[in-house]
Amino acid sequence: MVIYILCFALLLVGIYGVLTKRDLIKIILSLGIMGYAVNLMFILFAYRTGASYAILVKGKAAAEMVDPLPQALILTSIVIELGITAMLVALAIRLFEKYKTFDITKIRRLSG
Amino acid sequence: MILPFLIIIPLLAAFLITLISGEKDNWAIVLSILAAISLLALSTFSFFTTGNNTFIYEMSGWKIPLTICLVQDALSTFMLVIVNLIALTSLIFSVSYIRHYSAPWKYYALFMLLITGMNGVIATGDIFNLFVFMEIALFAAYGLVAFGCKAEEYEAAFKYAVMGSVSSTLILLGIGILYSATSTLTMAKIAEILPMLDTKLTYWVGAIFLTGFGLKAAVMPFHAWLPDAHSSAPAPISAMLSGVLIKSLGIYTIIRFFYNVLGAPQVFMIILMVIGSISIIVASYLALGQWDLKRLLAYSSISQIGFILLGIGIGTRLAVLGAVFHIFNHAVFKALLFYNSGALEMAIGTRDLRKMGNLKKALPVTSATSMIASLSIAGLPPFNGFFSKLIIIIAAVQANYIVYAVIAIIGSLLTLIYYMKVQRYGFRGGEVVEKTEIPVSLGMKSAMVILAVLCILTSLMIVPGIRELTLDPVVSVIINKTGYISAVLGR
Amino acid sequence: MKQNEGMTLIVKTVTRISVWLIILYGIYIILHGHLSPGGGFAGGVIIALAFLNVMLAYGRNFITRWINIGFLHDIESSSAAIFLAIGILGMSVGGGFLANFISHGKLFNLLSSGTIPLLNIVIGAKVSMGLFIVVWTLSIFHLLDKGEKK
């Protein structure tokens, strides 16, 4: 139970970072932390007490295994977050060229 | 059968466009228009042959609880027709519009990926697959918003990307909680198992998904990305984003999830009605003060989405009919309005309403279609917007929600006011402009005329003979949760 | 030591030996994707990082002389098209899209389990080329003066 609460605390740290940091790069890193927290929660949901890893090895009987489906889901989710991070970093580089700053309170030409 | 092709064709077109395009974009245009025409043909064929049945397609030949299934019932084929129709007209519009930007073949590849994502979200019956296709569509949308490389577009794309990522992470969290409670990912099986579990789980998961999908649909507390993103994008992309993306990723998933999986619990229906009403009033009020044409149209989108959510929240058969009809209507006339703004921007070079003169003589097709679209969205009788808004208001009165009906009427009046502002400043006021430097090309004119004709023709969809063919099966699918479960799992 | 010319002599010598081992390790993980953890995506990332290692050690100009970026772009797009072609082949033989239509073979062999090794190879090619092109484009952004998006 404590592990789940710590995982949720990691998610809250990520949300805090997105909401209050002023530097573009720190916002991107906080989005990464949120992604890590959700992936960790998936793996924690897949654990069965007293089971072993989910690979068939020659000469070993198919004993009780942990749930392998969330592991496939997390692979997909990591790939998606890699793409999002790459796109956000490219946007941040372009924003720096146009606005000459990484501070998000100064990048504010669209308002109203 | 038909459904996998709706995902394979645009994906194959996107990869082939990247492979064979060099500096010129002729092959890209030919491939993408061929793909869009075939998609529209396939989706209308599947809509008219589905009727009241439900067809299931299992991927990779495995059986239902172990595989990803594609569900073809009346609601999904209805949304597929809307998406592919607006996509085809956007492609016709953007043939000459994109020549002004650099590297047009990248635009066509990203556009095909956007269509893939939206078709996938609508067609799938598996909740994690919905998340993956939603992310594909959003990638393409973030890239297309920043397509012309000015400073405001990068800022708008960054804001959209960060807020979209936060909501996607929340949706993934909701999927994880749902999987750990029910240990299956197929939506029909979740709907079967969920009443046997604790009701607190329903409330938690519903709240998380309402936040996540609500941000994609731009309902009022989460709307802050929409005015920047939709006003900075190129005009055909604004039409796609505001016309079909927020409906396909936001409204369709809310309908599918809250009606078919959770079974429409009363708490969430009231919440949907409240945020719908707030969206109608506050967004209309904010749209009154805008001088940038596309920003005004973006706030108007938020307001109309509020109407649709109000219809969904009321929950009776008549209200859902009005909401579904309004989805179709809003896609048609909002796309038409964005095409008009794109034609204006190309002809005059500015989007500010105070700087436009009287353009009625210089751009006859644009001003006529703009008048038709403005009268439709404000809700005047022979056009389609009148019927859908009237049905929502009557349904609110019949269900004894008088306050919400009054709010909807006030919202309609405010819509009329700010569209008359657009007409007065943009097309009929000020000094007469004889000719503009850049003429509106044939592709753009034909796209606008097609949608204007559809504005008038779709009001026929409410006539009782045709309504049983087109709209009633959709409403039956939405309201009937047990029918959905038995249709998907019974095969 | 100029910026574009890479790092010192020790780094260059070690990279010249070790980068081939890294690529070999990546290919091993891709090919054994159906027997042990890993698969297409993890192996693809390792191969992309091998190329990135060369770019960091030898400088940006060396990469444009060593390999042709347009060729990598073509490999990436065609691998995605091959993935869809395998899926459509599965549909035409019978069964659904992406069905496993080659024979499944014996358990624990390298050449077993149908189309899965082929799909792993295709995904590995696409991910590695795509990731390397993304990182290379990010590093030459300031040289592209006209606004050309990623």
Distance from CA of B375 to the nearest CA of C (A): 38
Contacts of A42 in chain B (CB under 8 A): 176
Say if strands B69-72 and B55-58 run parallel, antiparallel, or are unpaired. antiparallel
CA gap B436, A25 in Å, rounded: 44
Mean pLDDT of chain A: 86
Question: Where residue B18 falls among pLDDT bands split at 50, 70, 90?
Answer: confident
| pLDDT top residue among B433 and A25 | A25
- What does the pLDDT read at residue C4? 59
Residue B348 has pLDDT above 70, yes or no: yes
- What does the pLDDT read at residue B23? 65
Contact B166 A31 (CB under 8 A): yes
CA gap C100, C86 in Å, rounded: 10
Is B22 within 8 Å of chain C by CB?
no
Rounded to the nearest angstrom, the gap between the alpha carbon of residue C50 and the centroid of all alpha carbons in its chain is 10
Contacts of C72 in chain B (CB under 8 A): none
Rounded to the nearest angstrom, the gap between the alpha carbon of residue B49 and the centroid of all alpha carbons in its chain is 23
Contact C100 B60 (CB under 8 A): yes
Residue B156 has pLDDT above 50, yes or no: yes
Highest mean pLDDT among A26-35, B340-349, C33-42, C53-62: A26-35
Contacts of A45 in chain B (CB under 8 A): 176, 179-180
Total-model pTM? 0.93
The tokens describing C60, both together, are: 């940006």
> Residue B276's closest CA among B238, B318, B304?
B304
Contacts of A86 in chain B (CB under 8 A): none
Contact B148 C147 (CB under 8 A): yes
Share of chain B above pLDDT 70, in %: 97
Contact B135 A112 (CB under 8 A): no
Please check whether residue B139 is in contact with residue B120, taking contact to mean a CB–CB distance below 8 angstroms.
Answer: no
Please check whether residue A25 is in contact with residue A95, taking contact to mean a CB–CB distance below 8 angstroms.
Answer: no
**Residue C130: how many CB atoms within 10 A of its CB?**
21
CA gap B460, B384 in Å, rounded: 8
Contact C84 B57 (CB under 8 A): no
**Is residue C148 included in any domain, yes or no?**
no
C-alpha distances (whole Å) from B379 to each of B296, B353, B388 are 18, 23, 8
Question: Where residue A112 falls among pLDDT bands split at 50, 70, 90?
Answer: low
> Residue B208's closest CA among B177, B183, B165?
B177
- What does the pLDDT read at residue B253? 92
Contact B149 C149 (CB under 8 A): yes
> Residue B257's closest CA among B171, B369, B335?
B171
pLDDT (mean) for A79-102: 89
**Is residue C19 included in any domain, yes or no?**
yes
- What does the pLDDT read at residue C26? 93
- What does the pLDDT read at residue C1? 47
User: Any idea what DSSP says for residue C34?
Assistant: T
User: What pLDDT, in 10s, does the model give residues B77-94?
Assistant: 899 999 999 999 999 888
SS3 B73: coil
Rounded to the nearest angstrom, the gap between the alpha carbon of residue A75 and the centroid of all alpha carbons in its chain is 11
Count structural domains, chain C.
Answer: 1
Which chains lie within 8 Å of chain A at 3 or more CB pairs, if any?
B, C
- What does the pLDDT read at residue A87? 92
Residues A13, A19, A20, A25, Cα dihedral to 10°: 90
Is A86 within 8 Å of chain C by CB?
yes
Q: 């038995």: which residue's tokens?
A: B486
CA gap C60, B442 in Å, rounded: 46
User: What pLDDT, in 10s, does the model give residues B294-343?
Assistant: 888 999 999 999 999 999 988 888 889 889 889 998 998 899 889 888 88
Give the angle subtended at the CA of A79 by the CAs of A75 and A83, to the nearest 5°: 170
Q: 């390792």: which residue's tokens?
A: C46
- Please identify among residues 26-55 of chain A the ones whose CB lies closer than 8 Å to any CB of chain C: 55
**Is residue C87 included in any domain, yes or no?**
yes
Question: Where residue C147 falls among pLDDT bands split at 50, 70, 90?
Answer: very low
- Which residue in the set C37, C108, C134 is minimally distant from A86, CB to CB? C134
Residues in A whose CB is inside 8 Å of some CB of B read 11, 14-15, 18, 24, 27, 31, 34-35, 38, 41-42, 45, 69-70, 73, 76-77, 80, 83-84, 87-88, 91-92, 94-95, 98-99, 107-110, 112
Contact C141 A94 (CB under 8 A): yes
Question: Where residue B456 falls among pLDDT bands split at 50, 70, 90?
Answer: confident
- What does the pLDDT read at residue B491? 56
SS3 B56: strand
Fold topology of A2-99: Helix Hairpins (1.10.287)
User: What pLDDT, in 10s, does the model give residues B245-290?
Assistant: 998 888 999 999 998 888 888 889 999 999 999 999 999 988 888 8
User: Any idea what DSSP says for residue B132?
Assistant: H
Is B180 within 8 Å of chain C by CB?
no
Contacts of C74 in chain B (CB under 8 A): 19
Residue A55 has pLDDT above 80, yes or no: no
Question: Where residue B104 falls among pLDDT bands split at 50, 70, 90?
Answer: confident
- Taking CA–CA distances from A90, the nearest residue in chain C reads C138
Please check whether residue A22 is in contact with residue A49, taking contact to mean a CB–CB distance below 8 angstroms.
Answer: no
Domain ranges, residue C88: 3-143
CA gap C28, A17 in Å, rounded: 39
CA gap A3, A1 in Å, rounded: 5
User: What pLDDT, in 10s, does the model give residues B466-490?
Assistant: 777 778 888 888 888 777 888 777 7
> Residue B366's closest CA among B472, B452, B302, B479?
B452
Give the helix/strand (H/E) hosting B69: strand B69-72
- What does the pLDDT read at residue C94? 66
Residue C150 has pLDDT above 50, yes or no: no
Residues 6+ apart with CB under 8 A from C145: none
Share of chain B above pLDDT 90, in %: 24
| pLDDT top residue among B464 and A29 | A29
Residue C19 has pLDDT above 50, yes or no: yes
> Residue B377's closest CA among B472, B276, B299?
B299
Contact C97 B8 (CB under 8 A): yes
- What does the pLDDT read at residue C149? 43
- What does the pLDDT read at residue B171? 94
Residues 6+ apart with CB under 8 A from B245: B114, B118, B137, B141
Give the angle subtended at the CA of C135 by the CAs of C130 and C139, to the nearest 5°: 145
Please check whether residue B467 is in contact with residue B461, taking contact to mean a CB–CB distance below 8 angstroms.
Answer: yes
Distance from CA of C127 to the nearest CA of A (A): 10
- What does the pLDDT read at residue B22? 67
Residue C32 has pLDDT above 70, yes or no: yes
Contact A99 B151 (CB under 8 A): yes
**Domain range annotation of chain A:** 2-99
Contact A88 B172 (CB under 8 A): no
Contacts of A79 in chain C (CB under 8 A): 41
